[in-house]
Amino acid sequence: MWDLTKVVVLLSFLASVALAQGPVWNSTLLRTWSQTDRNRKVAHNRLTDTQTTGVTEWTSWFNIDHPGGNGDYERLEAIRFYYRERVCARPTAMEARTTDWVAAADTGEVVHSSLEKGFWCINKEQPYGRICSNYHVRFQCPPVQAYWTDWNEWGPCSTTLCNDVGIQVRQRTCVSTQPLPLLLVPACQGHHSERRECATAPCTAKWSPWGRWGTCSVTCGGGRRIRRRTCMRTSETVQCIGRPVEIQKCGKSPCPAKCQHVCTEGRPSEDCSRCVCDGHVLQGEVYSVTGVPVAGARVALANRPKIIRARTDANGQFRLPGVCSSSSTLLSIRKERFAPAVASTSSNTTGLSWVRAVLKSAEKPYIVKHPEDKVRYEGGRVLLCCKATGSPTPDKYYWYHNGTLLDRKVYKYEEDLVLRDLKSEQSGQYHCKASSHAGSIKSSPAFLTVIAKGTPACNSTPETHLIRLPMDCVQPGTDSKYYNAGRCLHNKCAGSLDFDMRCRDGVGSCCGVQNMESRTIDCGSYSLPVRAVTECSCQKCMEPTVQVRGRVVTADNNEPLRFGHIYIGKERVGTTGYQGGFTLQITPDTQRLVVNFVDPTQKFIDTPKVFIFDKRGGSIYHDVKVMRKQTPIDINAAETNTIELGEIKGEDPIGQLVIPPNSFHKENGEIYEGTVKASVTFIDPRNITTAAAAPGDLNFVDDEGDMLPLRTYGMFSVDFRDETNKDVLGAGAVQVLLDTQHVKMQEHIPKMKLWSLNPDTGVWEEESDFTYSQTTSGGHGRSKREERTFLIGNMEIRERRLFNLDVPENRRCYVKVRAYMSDKFLSTEQLEGVVISLINLEPKPGYSSNPRAWGRFDSVITGHNGACLPAFCDAQRPDAYTAYVTAIMGGEELEAAPSSPKMNPNIIGVSQPYLDKIDYQRSDHEDPALKKTAFRINLAKPNSNNLDETNGPIYPYQSLIACENAPVDANHFRFFRVEKDKYEYNVVPFQENDLTTWTGDYLSWWPNPQEFRACFIKVKIHGQKEVMVRSKNKGGTHRETKGKLYGIRDIRSTRDMREANTSAACVEFKCSGMLFDQAAVDRSLISVLPQGNCRRVGTNSLLQEYLIKHPPVAQNNESHAFTMLAPVDPLGHNYGIYTVTDQNPRVAKEIAIGRCFDGTSDGFSREMKTESGVALTFSCPERKISRESLFQRLQTNPGQTLSQMARDMRESEGLQVQRSSTQVVAYPSEQRGRTQNRRVSSSTTRRRVSMRTQQRQ
């Protein structure tokens, strides 16, 4: 009893202490998490109100973890494991402090808490450079000794019958927290169980699904069949409505009568479809188009194509028994890699029947009509067209919207897709896929824009467009060299279509200039007019002429392909010139341009090329390399012949061509016996100079229709001819052996295939796989014969195709490259229309047998945001693949950013440390004598987990959009134009690389967007230094432009390397002629002004005579300049005037500059020749110091100097200098200098006269 009394007293004391101290803990000493916070529970069971109101207890502090590793974790589960009964089952609050006694809320760290889980802090969530503190925690518990647990789930209903009422029960348990005697523990208040009424579902009865139909009672003449179902019910009191059995009529077809087919020969077949002649055999033969017998072809009747009746043997022959000779029979003949054919049998009076079939090689589908971009308003309709060719002709088309296949049943499409009642969500990319049994091909995507009603298709507010001002134009206040002239975003409009259901919209509507206003730019010392865009609207689209130009020469010595035939598809479209030049005009709907160059003299191999081109009208120049045919060798057609592939001195051949005996045949299939003139030309990837001669674009089409890249191990072209009459011979069952020692990437060996190039599509098509074989060979430079492993592929020499040893490569990336106007690399001076070429090299010693081997060649044109070039890359070894990159603009090579003497990331455009990993080197990195027009890099695939490698310049293959849309400050490689000190200013802004920016205005430099006439004048300079020469071009005779500025051209003269102290400049000027309205001619007023101390000393006599005979004549009173009204006639080099007209402005200017440099009317040179074709001659000597400076005179004779200065000041008093102001002044600072010099000289003269007079007196 004494012990029990002590316990009661102790409990009373603890309760009173808790009651007294509880409010103090909660308000002053502790910062606890609220009991109502998320993920925290409030205790549901308490002692009686008189005992527990406001009474709580805190546990001791716990610290079971330290902030090392991932963080500090004070888990409630772990605390209970170590301390068990010291923590109550249901804490009502928690407090956490650091070991330095700082509350968690005051540490500034990110922490987490839960009354069910405890407290935790994670290191990686903390601010940069910090980790979690070491925390200890304690918990607040109610001083209860018994409480209810949570209610259990409701139990099942007491009744199971349907449509009945029963009872559900749930329970809870009273739990004691301390092991005290039962009599001293207060009982839990309330009931330990609850009940509620429950009801079961209504009684139901329903049928199960019908079972399958049974078999028909008869096969013909009428019968019946039965199917059944079962009633499923929950009570006997309800029934299903309907019948459990259904009967259907079947076997309605009449029973066959006796076959009525009458056969003039033989008997009817069992199915009464044809006549069968027992004992008669149809003989047939199957050949390819080149006359080679086709073995293994499947022969079937055309009306039963799936039932194979016979197969051809090694000679292409077959026998088909039972076919009567009295009637014609259609046969279906099929063979892999050949298009199916249907042939008809023939018979003669002898009763024999035979058939001869010719199989054409199967060709994968190829898109000849791609869908085009369209713009429509909501509620309108649109037609998207797609057409493919191939052998056999594609018979299935599929349409996709944003990569999702459209339901054929819903849209009811075939080749063409029609969309009606358009909605905004139907905007996006559309493409088609054409399929045949030979394969599939996808079209290029077309973008459909659906504009909401009432929304303008063209933003009337112009976007910012900064034009560069002349070098001597500095705007006061801003010192800016740029002016915002505005421009219209060139996007398509819906417009008013005359017919909206055409494959190509008849009249295009684009966002263009609606209004322009004349403004004046304050250049400080003079003013400059400009025409600025003020309003945009939908206008008729200008469709520029798209051209592809170039020159075809051999890869070995640049011998031109003279008068070569040019084919696009099977159509001959032109001929190369005497120097190998060509120009092709491209139709607007062209998506992929495949051009085949054929040498009629047969000195060079036929070379198909896939050309890139600029749809905005920029003329792209292609330097086409072709391979010279190897000298033919004589081989005996009756013997086995082996021809080596690869002839690099000191290196083993890459492979062999093995031709079995009697493999050659004529076009009619007849076996050729005799001597064969065999020429096999091999393009060896170990020789990097052959990369530019690679035909096609090294792409193939996979089974899904996607175009994917190949990596080549060599290409070869064969030419077999009859020794006597030089007829082309074919060859069957030819073996190609590839030496595996040259395949250093072992993963390539199982995927190696033999390919042939389709000259019409430029796509590589699979010929055969390779198999392993061991053979003994000596090879070049081998001292003994040894075992070597070859990959063997089989092929047939047919047509005039190029063959390729290739492997599909899936380690692909994109490389970001930009081109700039100068080495300042300004974002506003990016060049568009530059052809960037990338050659995949493979790679460094130790990984490949030859560091100069190449595997692929690609080219891309730069747009407004640079270019992304496809390339092979590797994530494991940065140097597994390397690349050699060049840039050409209109035949001019651009320079790459320098890499020596030290790599500067700000100049190269790639930040560290990724730059070191890429190992950027310009071509002159180790030898300054080499050209600076290329760079080499390691193609290290970016690591997505490394932040330094996620910002370019190399992007994963699936990140093409990220590459194309990369901001200008992202990592990229750079090229720039070498031409410096050149400037062009147009009053009406125009981008010559984008003809769609042309604006019709009287002051437009180019008055006709379909025909561009470039005019240049050659100015010779006598002087030790190069001189800037400016042409100032104004309207001369036209009433709308007279006295108004067209533009300014500045160019620095170019040194003549053959003549000392002589240079010349080819200065562009505004041609005379019709203005944009084609109403009247304007004789442009041209002023040519060299900078510096220059004096005109000569004028071309023919030019002067022409100007006098064609008045009006401009005044030429100033010796430092030359003024003329530009000639209307296209004068030549004899006048020093060079005029070229072309459908592209850059092409016209390039040709004219080349002629001007050469000093001829038909030549071309990049080296200035000052001795011929000159219009004007200026003498520009350096100024010499003829007298002492003021400082020198003060040192030598200070008294006399000061006296002279005083006299000069008195003489100059009262003198006023009047200066005339002009709108445009050429080099005003220089003219001021000349004026001041003249004034000083006059004053000096007066002083000297005065001094001489005084001396005489």
Q: What is the pLDDT of residue 1138?
A: 94
Outline where DSSP puts E strands in 360-498.
363-369, 374-377, 382-384, 387-391, 396-401, 404-405, 417-419, 428-436, 439-442, 446-451, 466-468, 482-484, 492-493
Nearest to 745 by CA among 871, 881, 852: 881
Q: Cα–Cα–Cα angle for 521, 523, 527, nearest 5°?
A: 55
Outline where DSSP puts E strands in 242-345.
245-250, 267-268, 275-288, 298-301, 310-311, 317-323, 330-334, 341-344
pLDDT at 982 over 90: no
Residues 863-892, mean pLDDT to the nearest whole number: 83
pLDDT at 572 over 50: yes
In the chain, % of residues over pLDDT 90:
16
What region, left, alpha or beta, does residue 1056 occupy, with left being phi > 0 and alpha being psi -120 to 50 degrees?
Answer: beta
Split at pLDDT 50, 70, 90, the class of 401 is: very high
In whole angstroms, what is the distance from residue 1228 CA to residue 1231 CA? Answer: 5
pLDDT in tens, 1239-1252: 434 444 444 444 44
DSSP-assigned letter for residue 1152: H
| pTM over the 0.85 mark | no
CB of 250 closer than 8 Å to CB of 297:
no
CB of 1083 closer than 8 Å to CB of 1037:
yes
Q: What is the pLDDT of residue 795?
A: 61
In whole angstroms, what is the distance from residue 685 CA to residue 841 CA? Answer: 9
Residue type (1 letter), 645: L
Which residues does residue 1233 pair with via DSSP β-bridges, in sequence order?
none
User: How far, in whole angstroms, is CA 1026 from its chain's centroid?
Assistant: 42
Q: Cα–Cα–Cα angle for 585, 588, 589, nearest 5°?
A: 120
CB of 90 closer than 8 Å to CB of 43:
yes
| 348: phi then psi, degrees, rounded to nearest 5 | -130, -175
pLDDT at 157 over 70: yes
Alpha helices in 1023-1143 (DSSP H): 1101-1109
Q: What is the pLDDT of residue 261?
A: 74
In whole angstroms, what is the distance from residue 134 CA to residue 100 CA? Answer: 9
In whole angstroms, what is the distance from residue 313 CA to residue 294 CA? Answer: 8
Q: What is the pLDDT of residue 746?
A: 65
In whole angstroms, what is the distance from residue 709 CA to residue 169 CA? Answer: 72
pLDDT in tens, 347-396: 765 567 788 888 888 888 888 899 988 888 888 889 999 999 888 889 89
pLDDT in tens, 1088-1111: 999 888 999 999 999 999 999 988
Q: What is the pLDDT of residue 1014?
A: 92
Q: Which residue has the tokens 């560290």?
A: 912
In whole angstroms, what is the distance from residue 293 CA to residue 338 CA? Answer: 13
Residues 712-737, mean pLDDT to the nearest whole number: 81
C-alpha neighbours within 13 Å on the C-beta side of residue 235: 12
pLDDT at 675 over 70: yes
Structural element, H or E, at residue 140: strand 135-141
Q: What is the pLDDT of residue 1212?
A: 61
Q: How do 1073-1074 and 1081-1082 pair as beta strands?
A: antiparallel
Q: Which range has highest mean pLDDT (875-879, 967-971, 1213-1217)?
A: 967-971
Nearest to 1030 by CA among 979, 977, 1084, 984: 984
Which residues does residue 225 pair with via DSSP β-bridges, in sequence order?
248
In whole angstroms, what is the distance from residue 512 CA to residue 1118 CA? Answer: 43
pLDDT in tens, 323-360: 877 667 788 888 887 888 888 877 765 567 788 888 88
Within 8 A by CB and 6+ apart from 411, the residues are 399, 417, 418, 419
In whole angstroms, what is the distance from residue 512 CA to residue 535 CA? Answer: 9
**Residue-wise DSSP of 398-423:** EEEETTEEPPHHHH--SSSEEE-S--
Within 8 A by CB and 6+ apart from 988, the residues are 516, 531, 999, 1001, 1003, 1004, 1005
In whole angstroms, what is the distance from residue 521 CA to residue 549 CA? Answer: 39
Nearest to 137 by CA among 204, 195, 87: 87
Task: Quote the mean pLDDT of the chain.
Answer: 79
Which residues does residue 768 pair with via DSSP β-bridges, in sequence order?
754
DSSP-assigned letter for residue 614: -
**Residue-wise DSSP of 81-103:** HHHGGGS-SS-SEEEEEETT--B
Q: What is the pLDDT of residue 397?
A: 93
Q: What is the pLDDT of residue 1205?
A: 78
Nearest to 1030 by CA among 1054, 1048, 1056: 1048
- Max CA separation in the chain (angstroms): 156
Residues 586-598, mean pLDDT to the nearest whole number: 84
Residue type (1 letter), 557: N
Helix (H, G, I), strand (E, B) or coil at 165: strand
CB of 1090 closer than 8 Å to CB of 1027:
yes
Within 8 A by CB and 6+ apart from 485, the residues are 465, 466, 467, 530, 531, 532, 533, 989
Q: Among 141-145, 199-203, 751-755, 856-860, which is the least confidently predicted range?
A: 141-145
DSSP-assigned letter for residue 487: B
pLDDT at 1020 over 90: yes
Split at pLDDT 50, 70, 90, the class of 1221 is: very low
User: How far, in whole angstroms, is CA 1165 from its chain's centroid?
Assistant: 35
In whole angstroms, what is the distance from residue 1062 CA to residue 1057 CA? Answer: 9
Q: What is the pLDDT of residue 145?
A: 62
In whole angstroms, what is the distance from residue 93 CA to residue 22 CA? Answer: 13
